[in-house]
Amino acid sequence: MNDTAAPAFRPRVLVTKIGLDGHDRGSRIVAAACRDAGMEVIYTPPWQSIPAVVKLALEEDVDVIGISSLATDHLVVPKLMAALGDAGLGDVRVVVGGIVPENEERALVASGVRAVFHPGSTLDEITTRIRDYAGETRRARTGGEGAR
């Protein structure tokens, strides 16, 4: 509430699931943890289409997209990365959390995913890194300004 100091940086994070899986215990806990860490979280139910996610990311000017994938949803993440690029949202950092076999993790990173969180990652670790990535996004967009 201090108007003269640098503006507060509240990361805007989208937590969502694309693909077909419906298990959302993990994504709900991560969304709650991000809120408790002071972030603004847009939380969606599962089964979001890629165009819907891209539109949301654009309108809400999100800094980080967190995809929860407990089954095979991560297999369509490369399509999401391509769609984000086409929409001019290539700077938005995307992370994937859940169950990702090693051989498929490499493909995700190659498509531009910033990080993959495996089971056993603590909430503290996840929220700290999401905050860092949000800072990266802001700096990439404003060429160094706007992120404190």
Partner 1 sequence: MTARTTVDELGERALAGDRGALARLLTLIDDDAPGARAAAARIAGHAGRAWVVGVTGVPGSGKSTLVDALLGAWLAEGHTVAVVAIDPSSPVSGGAVLGDRIRMGANAADERVFIRSFSARGELGGLSRAARAAVDCFDACGFDRIVVETVGTGQSETAIVSLADTRVVVCPPGLGDEVQAIKAGTLEIADVLAVSKGDLPLAAQTARELRDMLLLKPRAAGEWRPQAIVVCALDGSGLDDLRTAMTAHRDAVGVGRRSNVGPGTSVARAMPPPSDNDGWRDRIAALVARDALCTTLGIAARGGGPGSAEVAMTVDRRHLNFNGVCHGGAIFALADSAFGLAANSHGPVASGIDAHITFQTAVAAGDTLVARAIEVQRSRRIGVYRIDVVRADIGGEMPVSSFTGTVYIRD
Partner 2 sequence: MNAPADRSVAAASAHERWQREYREGVGDEREIANVSGIPVAPLYTAADRPPGRDAALGHPGQPDYTRGIYATMHRGRTWTQRQLVGLGTPADYNARLLALLERGATAVSLIPCNSVYRGLDADSVDLELLGTCGTVVNDAEHMARCLDGVDVARISCAMNDPSPFTLLAFMLVAAERRGIDWKQITGTSNQSDYLSHFVANHMFYRLALPGARRVLIDHIAWCRAHVPRWNPMSVVGQHMQQAGATPAEAMAFTLSTAVQNAEDCIARGMDPDEFLPRFTFFFDISMSFFEEIAKFRAGRRIWARLARERLGAKDERAWRFKFHAQTSGVDLTRQQPLNNIARVAAQAMAGIFGGLQSLHTDAYDEAYATPSEAGARIAIATQNILREEARLTDVIDPLGGSYYVESLTDAMEEKIVAIMTTVDDAGGMYKAVESGLVQRTIGASAMRFQQRVESGEQVVVGVNKYRADDDAEHRPPVERPDRDAMQRLRDAFVAAKARRPAAAVAGALDGLTRAAESKDGNLFAAVVDAARAGCSNEEICTRLRRDLGFGHPLVIV
- Binding residues for partner 1 (CB under 8 A): 1, 3, 7-10, 12, 31-32, 34-45, 49, 51-52, 55-56, 58-61, 87-89, 141-143, 145-146
- Start-to-end C-alpha separation, the chain: 16
| Rounded-to-integer distance, Cα 86 and Cα 37, Å | 31
* Smaller CB separation from partner 2, 46 or 85: 46
* Smaller CB separation from partner 2, 99 or 130: 99
Smallest separation, CB 123 to partner 2 (Å): 6
Q: Which does 112 bind (CB under 5 to 8 A by kind): partner 2, partner 1, none?
A: none
| CA R_g for the chain | 15
Closest alpha carbon to 11 in 89, 128, 143, 124: 128
Q: Which residues bind partner 2 (CB under 8 A)?
A: 19-25, 28-29, 31-32, 35, 41, 43, 45-47, 71-73, 75-76, 79, 99, 101-104, 118-120, 122-124
| Rounded-to-integer distance, Cα 57 and Cα 44, Å | 12
Amino acid at 47: W
Smallest separation, CB 2 to partner 2 (Å): 29
| Rounded-to-integer distance, Cα 49 and Cα 135, Å | 27
